[in-house]
């Protein structure tokens, strides 16, 4: 059974800092890995999707990497802003349509 772990569970940083969120998964037989953002009480917004054949994806200040063999992904956020404060969820997709989510990292960026 796939298990996804996110470290740290919570992170508080000053504005402008570069930061890294970590995601690890136990079964490397994945189709893709997706990073989502969730604001309190809201739905999930997809940030980046990395297919299993890819190593990284970039969107603006966000960069996600995938090392399938070691079961790890990182989400790098450059020059963090207070508006980046949210919970970040990592999800892996195996065969079929199931996503397995991590518990999330709650990020607070302080002005």
Partner 1 sequence: DTEVTQTPKHLVMGMTNKKSLKCEQHMGHRAMYWYKQKAKKPPELMFVYSYEKLSINESVPSRFSPECPNSSLLNLHLHALQPEDSALYLCASSQLAGGPGETQYFGPGTRLLVL
What is the binding site for partner 1 (CB under 8 A)? 31-32, 34, 36, 41-46, 49, 51-52, 89, 91, 93, 95-99, 101-104
SS3 25: strand
Task: Tell the smallest beta-carbon distance from residue 16 to partner 1 (Å).
Answer: 27
Return the number of the residue (60 or 95) whose C-beta is nearest partner 1. Answer: 95
Q: Select 89 or 109, whichever has its Cβ closest to partner 1.
A: 89
How many residues are there in the chain?
A: 111
In the DSSP assignment, the letter for residue 79 is S
Distance, in Å, from the CA atom of 85 to the CA atom of 106, rounded to the nearest integer, reads: 8
Name which of 74 and 106 has its Cβ closer to partner 1.
106
Peptide bond into 8 cis (omega under 30): yes
CB of 86 to partner 1, least distance (A): 13
Q: Residue 83 or 96: which CB sits closer to partner 1?
A: 96
Min separation Cβ 62 and partner 1, Å: 15
**What count of Cα atoms within 13 Å lies in the side-chain half-sphere of residue 28?**
8
C-beta of 51: minimal distance to partner 1 in Å?
5
Q: What angle do CA 47, 42, 96 make, to 5 degrees?
A: 55
């Amino acid at each position: 059974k796939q298990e996804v772990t996110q470290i740290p569970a919570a992170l508080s940083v000053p504005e402008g800092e570069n930061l890294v969120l970590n995601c690890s998964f136990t079964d490397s037989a994945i189709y893709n890995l997706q990073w989502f953002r969730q604001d309190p009480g809201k739905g999930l917004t997809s940030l980046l999707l990395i297919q299993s054949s890819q190593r990284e994806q970039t969107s603006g200040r966000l960069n996600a990497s995938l090392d399938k063999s070691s079961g790890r992904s990182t989400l790098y956020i450059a020059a963090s802003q207070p508006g980046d404060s949210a919970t970040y969820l990592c999800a892996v997709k195996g065969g079929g349509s199931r996503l397995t989510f991590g518990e999330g990292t709650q990020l607070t960026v302080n002005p």
